[in-house]
Structure 1
Amino acid sequence: MKFSREQRVMWLSQVRSIPFRQRVELTSQAGFGWLSTSPVDFDQTVASGLSAADQRRIADDNGVRLSYLDPLTSWAPDWRPEREDPDILPYLERSPDSFFRVAEQLEVDKIHLIGTFPAGRYSIDELTQHFGAICDRAAQAGLSCTLEAMPLWGFATLDEAWQVVKGAGRSNSGIIFDTWHYVRAGRNDALLSEIPPAAIDSVQIADGPLVCPPGRSVARDCLFHRVPIGEGEIPNKEILAILAQNNLIGSIGPEIFSSELDALSPNQIMERVLPGFESIVDSI
């Protein structure tokens, strides 16, 4: 293992179907020091009988840090997607006030932003202003902000994310680099030599086909049909080699949204996710 426990992030995506306590235990046993979460998952976990304090205690007892509260969409006021998917919208729909309350209760250190607004709705300058404002609010609460571009809605490319983060110039900000989104949005490998290492907060690895299969929206393909690392067509080894060459991998983790994984037992999920992740990490 070339990355320490403190450099390994278990993203909620592949463990979202696992009850909170067991999710944290498996995350720890697999050697991950960080676990992302979401406001929706927080609400569901509280409804199951575990308070915010309970969740923090369970994480602490297992040597896991709750982090990357994800996703905040309403940092851009007109955040609603053009074509709202009823299966996805509840995951996106959260006001900044409500989002920050969850962050405070869980005592996370980072909040994660994505752009779900329609394409063309905002200029880069406007997005930079909105992003800077939310970073300033986060700073007052002792939080950092991560920003991720994804070609599902109106904020699609790494170049856009870098323009916004660079333009805002906030010290408590960084980019989440997702290999699946990077390929689907159209690779720009030259840009990777221009982005300073400090600008990339963390790297997510996923797999799947190079293009969205017919009859499926890109959003649904992303959130329900990713596959374990090594089982798809995403050139992850090649991309990770370029990132490593430019010292852009500070922390790393799998992010595999999959309905097929959701249907498996907790241990079966880990058996499907971990081998491909460990193999590719060892190859970096």
Structure 2
Amino acid sequence: MKRALGLGHFTFLDLPPVELVRLARQSGFDFVGLRFHPVAPGGLHWLPDAAGLRELARVLQGEGVRLYDIETIVIDAALRPGDLVPAMEAAAALGGKRVNVCADVFPGLSETFADIAARAADCGLALDLECMAWRGINTPRACLDLITASGAPNAAYLLDALHHTRCGGTPGDIAGMLRGQVVSAQLCDAPAVAPSGEGALLAEARGGRLLPGDGGLDLAGILAALPGETIVSVELPSAQDTRPPPERARAIFAATSALIAAGAATPTEDFQ
């Protein structure tokens, strides 16, 4: 049974959504994630207006590609949850399922997280929370603890292979999670040894990721530990790989598909 595979927007963030959707279809991917909200004020994002939303819906349908999630919301003290509603409503209109988030630690974090989760639920969406080594929520355990503290029933841990590993996570941590605690996963590779310092970790995450099989992360162990129903995509921004997007996207799909085919995980056919 074929495991559906998605392409995260961060892999080709300079491409408008319509171009990313077409690239995904041409390269073999089944679904996409899209950047509808800036990671930081003024950052690049692609939230469409009403006409753009209609065009994007038409292209998604025509290409036979679906939207799975929108990325990546940084939950910090300055964030106003209401500002996320336009992106959530656009995602819902396109059939999206989930919102990727990460978080810093500040007074009222669990309440803010619960507020965002409730707004997502109002749009028929759920949250996926990932750890990052330079954020306050910087371990898999911290993610699960925040979800529990918030009481949000529609939140889960987002397994990003790079962040999970750099935050001290192991395949065993994934295998120990309860059903429903890890719904989505993002794959890439990287050197086995982490770079030193926050700046180097940031640079690696934002432009130093490698094709699956070209690094030293335990991707086979991660895949084997994932529940069969976990939805898998690729998030692979690279400043070093300067090949044209079609060539690079095909290489990413081929490398990831080979990894999945060789893995021990029981695949699911598709997401609902």
**Residue 220 of structure 1: SS of its match in structure 2?**
helix
CA shift for structure 1 position 190:
4.2
What does residue 255 of structure 1 align with?
235
Corresponding residue of 1:217 = 200
Q: Distance in 1 between matches of 2:194 and 2:176?
A: 29
> By how many angstroms is 1:31 displaced?
3.8
- The answer to which of 195-204 and 27-36 deviates more is 27-36
Residue 222 of structure 2 aligns to a residue whose secondary structure is: helix
Deviations 1:99-158 (A, max 9, x none): 32123234233221112x3xxx447xx433322221112212222121111213221111
Alignment of 1:79-98 (within 5 A): 95-98=80-83
- Of 93, 97, 113, the match for 1:109: 97
The offset of 1:276, in angstroms, is 1.4
Is 2:72 aligned against 1:71? yes
Contact 1:183–1:210, Cα closer than 8 Å, also in 2 = no
Amino acid at match of 1:100: V
**DSSP 3-state at the match of 1:217:** helix
Aligned pairs (5 A) from 1:114-129: 114-115=102-103, 117=104, 121-122=105-106, 126-129=108-111
> Is the partner of 2:180 in helix, strand or coil?
helix
The match for 2:253 is 274
Give the secondary structure class of the aligned counterpart of 1:139.
Answer: helix
Aligned partner of 1:199 in structure 2 is 181
Give 2:146's aligned residue.
Answer: 164
Corresponding residue for 2:121? 139
* Rounded Cα–Cα distance in structure 1 between residues aligned with 2:192 and 2:67: 32
Q: 1:184-209 CA distances to partner (integer Å, 9 max, x unpaired)?
A: 11124443343122121111111112
Q: Which amino acid aligns with 1:104?
A: E
Unaligned runs of 5+ residues in structure 2 are 37-43, 264-272
Q: Please tell me the root mean square deviation across aligned C-alpha atoms, in Å.
A: 2.6
Q: Give the corresponding residue for 2:209.
A: 226
What SS does structure 2 have at the residue aligned with 1:51? helix
Q: Deviations for 1:44-103, whole angstroms, at most 9, x for unmatched residues?
A: x76xxx7122112211211222232111113x4246xxxxxxxxxxxxxxx533332123
- Measure, in 1, the Cα distance between the counterparts of 2:63 and 2:98: 20
1:54 maps to what in 2? 55
Q: How does 1:5-20 map to 2 (within 5 A)?
A: 7-20=4-17
Q: Percent identity?
A: 20
Q: Is the 8 A contact 2:117 2:152 kept in 1?
A: yes
TM-score by length of 1: 0.78
State the TM-score, normalized to the length of structure 2. 0.81
Q: Could you say which structure has the higher helix fraction?
A: 1
